[in-house]
Structure 1
Amino acid sequence: MFAALASDRLGADSIILAALTALMAAQVITVKEGFQGFANEGVLTVLALFVVAEGITKTGALDWYIGKVLGSPTNASSAQLRILAPVTFASAFLNNTPIVVVMIPIIQKWARNIHIPVQQLMIPLSFASILGGTCTLIGTSTNLVVVGLLEERYPNDPDVSIGLFDIGLYGVPVALVGMAYILFASPYLLPGGGGQSQDALNSLEKNEEILLGARLTSWSPAVSRTVKRSGLRDTGGIYLVSVVRAATGHAYQSIAPEEPLQHGDVLWFSGSASSVGDLRKIPGLISYQNDEVEKINEKVHDRRLVQAVIARKGPLVGKTVKEVQFRKRYGAAVIAVHREGKRVHEHPGNVKLQAGDVLLLEAGPSFIAKSGENDRSFALLAEVEDSAPPRLSLLIPALLITAGMLVVFMADWTSLLVSALVASMLMVALGILSEQEARDAVNWEVFITVAAAFGIGTALVNSGVAGGIANFLVDVGTALGIGEAGLLGAVYFATFLISNVVTNNAAAALLFPVALNAAEQTGTDRVLMSYALMLGASASFMSPFGYTTNLLIYGPGGYKYKDFLLFGTPMQIVLWVASIAFLAIIEPWYISWIAAAAILGIIIALRLFCLSRTALRAGEEK
């Protein structure tokens, strides 16, 4: 199975399901054990969270706000740092799965807007959420599993009690070291480390420039602000090229950054067709052709942006959009016109069309099929990806539903699965999502892969492979004769090795009796041993299947199995050494914090120095 996964010739879901089938056929596991993952509460929770995250994404505005919070970094290291710090902190107190599910589509669009390869950001997103989980007792369910087993084994023993932030004494410096490794190693070991790929640059160059007009509403946060402070001058792939003042009708072809914007101003943006969908998600802007768009006889949920090229001998040549009554005739609204070599600033309805003009249309789902089959008006039709109109007015309800879901879960009123299901149903009931969009939001490949992995883990336990490896490694650690450090190192190594092939909770539960027996026999601190189990079980970095968040970003990040091996294996070793040093060697504990913070600071300083040297050299060459 692992050899097939490393080859990347078949989908991960197909390979793992085939392996699971073989294990059931060989009677290593029963059918019930093989399919237990498909009814697992955690796996089903992920499915429901996909729907919740899609509801937030469809409103559109959250992309804009979080994009502004994250800012516009000019390099991958700066972008990674803006992800690592907040995600690590949030994951210390919240379940990391919903955090990653919500952030995936936002990071994808942000990466495109700031022109940084998404491969440089998705693994840091997942790894940051894992590192954050080691900082508090509630950061990950694995910590709670270990504490529960500890209380069951040593009831009413004050010497083995663990408080909410006790693990943080060692988890925080480990997280800082992990962040330092990500910042240092990602340019060399993650795909896209050299910046934009040539394919990405080529695609940007091939995208034809579209000019789109948008009117500033009275409730826009940009009203009365200068162009520079409004955040609209450069929104990532879309650039403000001119402004037509509402009060006077004067057109500013080259508007100064200090010029204030006013209610009703028409802003003209230039960008590729794929970027226009992002423009419509900016709060406070409506299409310059909003009156025509509102008259389209299609549900808002079903509309898309379509690029249409005017046919050379078609009936539209030489006529304006108004003359041909475009909306009535085609059931679509023209929201922008692009003519090669010339920017068309006129209202789209008044432009006299020419052969080869590119129209940007808002149309229903059947427009392309009908126009392509029965009409010679267009030489080419193409739907713009991810261009459904944003539901900006539904952002607040979507956020309230999501916040309510998390509050109910954290208050322990019900499980995350139940609260996520209720949130999903409310999303559909309030029109934030259509029923079909809710169905399509579920990533079935992830579901099959995660669910089938449970059965694989059970097979490793039933066959004795997992237990045999664990006992062997603990025996080796004990036999090294270097005291606590050797035993803790062996337990940590065995735990993270197994957690990369079974779930981290299962790895912790499997190693717990072995580790605690060894601790009792050698007089090793039982609390430190428990910390080693917690840190080791959460250290799932060298396989996409060791942790749910790794699986979630596997597809969206465009990774291959070898990317996790190449980037995650050194990180696994670095954190192994750091964890044992912090647990058994460095005293007192605050020296670990100082050392870890110093390592992170040095790495950040080195990255900034290297980037400044690169920028200086590029400037000199220019």
Structure 2
Amino acid sequence: MIEAVRAAIEAHQAVLSLLILAAMFVGFLMERLPATVIAILGACTYLALGILDAEAAYSVFSNSAPIVIGAMFVLSGALLRTGVIQRIADAIMARAEKQPRLAIVEVLLGALAASAFLNNTPVVVVLLPIMMKLAEVTGISAKKLLMPLSIAAVLGGTLTLIGTSTNLVVDGIVRDAGMPRFGIFEITPIGLVTAASGMIGLALMWWLLPNDRPIPGAAGTHDAHQYLTELVLGDDDALVGMTVEAFRDLPRSGRVVGIRRGGTVVHGAELDHWTLAPGDRLVVRIDGQTLMTWREQNRFLLGIGGGTPSSNDMVVETMIAPTHPSIGQRLADIPFLQKIRARIIGLDRPLHEAGPDLANVRIRPADRLLVTGGPREVEALRDNPGLIGADLAKTRAFRRRKAWIAILCMAGVVGLAALDVMPIGVAAIIAIGVILVTRCIDSDEAWGTIDGDVLILIFAMLAVGLALEKSGAVAMMVGWVEPLLADAPRWVLVFGIYFAALFLSELLSNNAVAALMTPVTLALAAELGVDPRPLVIALMIGASACFATPIGYQTNTIVYAAGDYRFVDFVKIGVPLNIITGVSTCLAIVIFLT
């Protein structure tokens, strides 16, 4: 009986493979389970039926693409950890204060350029609050700025091989098929056409962008983890005798919201010209990394509470439970401040700016606190039933002195790969070794920057693609298509592959589409006797440059929530933009590469 079943599976494995693939597509579209889970279930089904054997399944882990993608996540994390990205953001905000409308163009072009070399998701996350601030300064609706930010980042990913993980996945499959690897700038001439046509199309369709204001409190309209804190000036601090405007250590994303001197509290317009004196307590809103950097520098006495800060103190992040007995009372009166030697150095309240100062905040459920103290104090916090999840803070101080190392490592990876001195994967792994040894980023943080879902999805879809190839399903699909395209001009092939990849990527994961379509594209090119390289480039860009749905690309999803968009907003802009960039890209491929 078992032998008969095995024989039936082997006889019809191509058809079975396509049925499993169709079931996976339905699963992707229904979104009942995460895409990663569906991909793993599909790969497991091929394994269980014997369509994919163990040796072939293990072979997908020799593909270099996921390794390179993971390495680029870590290198991007090092740039964030060393404050490089924040410095760039501050420079942009400085320009925005003088010429805000020009700054909008500069941010979009900066996102375009940065996304050619960095993972575009953190690029959008970093620039999103800057765009929100520019919307406030210029009076332009944030909805007119956030979608263009995502579009610029996506277009930037088409400029180089490392601009998006999709390109790296395709390159990995191409190399496994025995073709020469892609150079880091090989797709750049075509990518420039894509980016230029996309940005021009965006400018022409600016009037189609929604002009209404995001609903207050919509997801993303509040800067994440902006802590309210207080710092006390020492007698010999450089700021003594100067105005608040001289506070150069304050990033553009932060601000001084008040000054307490004895019983006097100054807020509003008076702040800018207030001359600072020893003992002044500055009330500041600031990001967590800058707050932790100040603590590490030990320049200011931070926060409120008892005890003298010690170098051995730990920083704990915790949350106020709904059952906390002090709900509605002042933060300074919270019981554990009187019972243990601890200091609250920051408070973050989601979707709301707490105040007027740290001591007088009326605490609410879900307020997030940063608390410093010794081992006993930390243990007391963990045992406190009024606090949720008291654990060591994940927010770390910037390591600005290491910034040049992180920059050189990223530049080295790009330069060595571009000059063909060594494969990009090897260069990236060496760069990771350098940034870890020099402590640009700690090992636990480095591994934390890697998006495990992306890597597992890629490995699973590589296995699915291999199963389709080994079962004969790829040959079957090529057999269906080949008669229709045998006498077709080459431009029809380019357009067909590009828009097929584009359509699927609007509905499914870009990486999944790349892993599925690359073997089919290579087999089709071989059957028709044409150069596969132009077709592969069309696939790379088509699978990435998708703008018509908020689920088409991760950055679209981010701004979809942050800008309080409707689904149809993406359709109105994305569909014509897909057509403009698609036609321009395909014509460039046909003219220059075929």
Q: 1:202 to 1:397 in 2, by over 3 A?
A: closer
Question: Alpha-carbon deviation of 1:424?
Answer: 3.1
Instruction: Note if 1:288 corresponds to 2:300.
Output: yes
Instruction: Note if 1:241 corresponds to 2:251.
Output: no
Which amino acid is the alignment partner of residue 32 of structure 2?
A: R
Note the alpha carbon deviations across 1:379-406, whole angstroms, 9 max, x for none. Answer: 8887898644444444344444444444
SS in 2 for 1:28: coil
Of residues 487-496 and 113-122 in structure 1, the stretch that sits farther from structure 2 once superposed is 113-122
Instruction: Note if 1:510 corresponds to 2:523.
Output: yes
Which amino acid is the alignment partner of residue 510 of structure 1?
A: A
Taking the aligned partners of 2:326 and 2:587, their CA distance within structure 1 comes to 76
Instruction: Note if 1:440 corresponds to 2:448.
Output: yes
1:409-448 alignment runs, 5 A limit: 409-448=417-456
1:199-210 alignment runs, 5 A limit: 199-200=217-218, 210=228
Could you say which residue in structure 1 is the equivalent of 2:156? 129
Question: Alpha-carbon deviation of 1:114?
Answer: 6.6
Q: 1:336 to 1:442 in 2, by over 3 A?
A: closer
Taking the aligned partners of 1:187 and 1:33, their CA distance within structure 2 comes to 52
Could you say which residue in structure 2 is the equivalent of 1:177? 197
Taking the aligned partners of 2:497 and 2:362, their CA distance within structure 1 comes to 73
Taking the aligned partners of 1:584 and 1:317, their CA distance within structure 2 comes to 68
Q: 1:425 to 1:147 in 2, by over 3 A?
A: closer
1:347-366 alignment runs, 5 A limit: 361-363=370-372
Counterpart selection for 2:123 from 103, 106, 128: 103
Could you say which residue in structure 2 is the equivalent of 1:65? 87
Q: 1:200 to 1:63 in 2, by over 3 A?
A: farther
Could you say which residue in structure 1 is the equivalent of 2:230? 212
Could you say which residue in structure 2 is the equivalent of 1:157? none
Taking the aligned partners of 1:182 and 1:412, their CA distance within structure 2 comes to 35
Taking the aligned partners of 2:31 and 2:519, their CA distance within structure 1 comes to 27
Question: Alpha-carbon deviation of 1:453?
Answer: 1.1
Could you say which residue in structure 1 is the equivalent of 2:69? 46
Could you say which residue in structure 2 is the equivalent of 1:460? 468
Which amino acid is the alignment partner of residue 240 of structure 1?
A: V
Taking the aligned partners of 1:68 and 1:208, their CA distance within structure 2 comes to 16
Counterpart selection for 1:450 from 435, 458, 462: 458
Taking the aligned partners of 2:110 and 2:201, their CA distance within structure 1 comes to 17
Question: Alpha-carbon deviation of 1:19?
Answer: 0.6
Q: In the alignment, is the contact (CA less than 8 A) between 1:20 and 1:456 conserved in 2? A: yes
Taking the aligned partners of 1:410 and 1:163, their CA distance within structure 2 comes to 6
Instruction: Note the residue ranges of structure 2 that are not aligned, 5 or more in a row.
Output: 1-23, 136-141, 505-511, 562-566
Could you say which residue in structure 2 is the equivalent of 1:85? 109
Question: Alpha-carbon deviation of 1:540?
Answer: 0.4
Query: What is the percent sequence identity of the aligned residues?
Result: 13
Q: 1:166 to 1:99 in 2, by over 3 A?
A: closer
Which amino acid is the alignment partner of residue 53 of structure 2?
A: T
Taking the aligned partners of 1:512 and 1:263, their CA distance within structure 2 comes to 75
Q: In the alignment, is the contact (CA less than 8 A) between 1:446 and 1:552 conserved in 2? A: no
Q: 1:218 to 1:25 in 2, by over 3 A?
A: farther
Note the alpha carbon deviations across 1:449-481, whole angstroms, 9 max, x for none. Answer: 01111112223333444455456556545657x
Could you say which residue in structure 1 is the equivalent of 2:19? none
Cα RMSD for the two superposed structures: 6.2
Q: In the alignment, is the contact (CA less than 8 A) between 2:501 and 2:543 conserved in 1? A: no
Which amino acid is the alignment partner of residue 436 of structure 1?
A: D
SS in 2 for 1:200: coil
Taking the aligned partners of 2:374 and 2:533, their CA distance within structure 1 comes to 56
SS in 1 for 2:282: strand
Q: 1:459 to 1:336 in 2, by over 3 A?
A: closer
Which amino acid is the alignment partner of residue 454 of structure 1?
A: L
Note the alpha carbon deviations across 1:40-59, whole angstroms, 9 max, x for none. Answer: 21102222333333333334
Could you say which residue in structure 1 is the equivalent of 2:282? 268
Q: 1:430 to 1:443 in 2, by over 3 A?
A: same
Taking the aligned partners of 1:83 and 1:290, their CA distance within structure 2 comes to 33
Q: In the alignment, is the contact (CA less than 8 A) between 2:160 and 2:188 conserved in 1? A: no
Q: In the alignment, is the contact (CA less than 8 A) between 1:24 and 1:30 conserved in 2? A: yes
Note the alpha carbon deviations across 1:173-206, whole angstroms, 9 max, x for none. Answer: 33222334566779989xx996535553799599
SS in 2 for 1:240: strand
Taking the aligned partners of 2:429 and 2:195, their CA distance within structure 1 comes to 32
Q: 1:439 to 1:204 in 2, by over 3 A?
A: closer
Which amino acid is the alignment partner of residue 212 of structure 1?
A: E
Which amino acid is the alignment partner of residue 176 of structure 1?
A: A
Q: 1:311 to 1:416 in 2, by over 3 A?
A: same
Could you say which residue in structure 2 is the equivalent of 1:540? 543
Taking the aligned partners of 2:513 and 2:245, their CA distance within structure 1 comes to 50
Could you say which residue in structure 2 is the equivalent of 1:612? none
Could you say which residue in structure 2 is the equivalent of 1:10? 33
Taking the aligned partners of 1:512 and 1:220, their CA distance within structure 2 comes to 68
Which amino acid is the alignment partner of residue 489 of structure 1?
A: F
Q: In the alignment, is the contact (CA less than 8 A) between 2:546 and 2:578 conserved in 1? A: no
Which amino acid is the alignment partner of residue 174 of structure 1?
A: T
Which amino acid is the alignment partner of residue 239 of structure 1?
A: R
Q: 1:37 to 1:210 in 2, by over 3 A?
A: same
Q: 1:204 to 1:276 in 2, by over 3 A?
A: same
SS in 1 for 2:218: helix
Counterpart selection for 2:45 from 8, 13, 22: 22
Which amino acid is the alignment partner of residue 123 of structure 2?
A: M
Question: Alpha-carbon deviation of 1:241?
Answer: 2.7
Which amino acid is the alignment partner of residue 13 of structure 1?
A: T
Could you say which residue in structure 2 is the equivalent of 1:297? 312
Taking the aligned partners of 2:308 and 2:440, their CA distance within structure 1 comes to 20
Taking the aligned partners of 1:297 and 1:381, their CA distance within structure 2 comes to 21
Question: Alpha-carbon deviation of 1:489?
Answer: 3.4
Q: In the alignment, is the contact (CA less than 8 A) between 1:100 and 1:125 conserved in 2? A: no
- How many residue pairs match? The answer is 529
Q: 1:220 to 1:463 in 2, by over 3 A?
A: farther
TM-score by length of 2: 0.64
Q: In the alignment, is the contact (CA less than 8 A) between 1:13 and 1:448 conserved in 2? A: yes
Question: Alpha-carbon deviation of 1:207?
Answer: 10
Q: 1:143 to 1:464 in 2, by over 3 A?
A: same
Instruction: Note the residue ranges of structure 1 that are not aligned, 5 or more in a row.
Output: 153-161, 518-525, 590-622
Q: In the alignment, is the contact (CA less than 8 A) between 2:229 and 2:284 conserved in 1? A: yes
Q: 1:341 to 1:84 in 2, by over 3 A?
A: closer
Q: In the alignment, is the contact (CA less than 8 A) between 2:225 and 2:288 conserved in 1? A: no
Taking the aligned partners of 1:197 and 1:372, their CA distance within structure 2 comes to 36
SS in 2 for 1:106: helix
Q: 1:58 to 1:445 in 2, by over 3 A?
A: same
Could you say which residue in structure 2 is the equivalent of 1:371? 380
Taking the aligned partners of 2:80 and 2:535, their CA distance within structure 1 comes to 38
TM-score by length of 1: 0.62
Q: 1:242 to 1:230 in 2, by over 3 A?
A: same
Could you say which residue in structure 1 is the equivalent of 2:13? none
Question: Alpha-carbon deviation of 1:13?
Answer: 1.1
Could you say which residue in structure 2 is the equivalent of 1:598? none
Q: In the alignment, is the contact (CA less than 8 A) between 2:63 and 2:173 conserved in 1? A: no
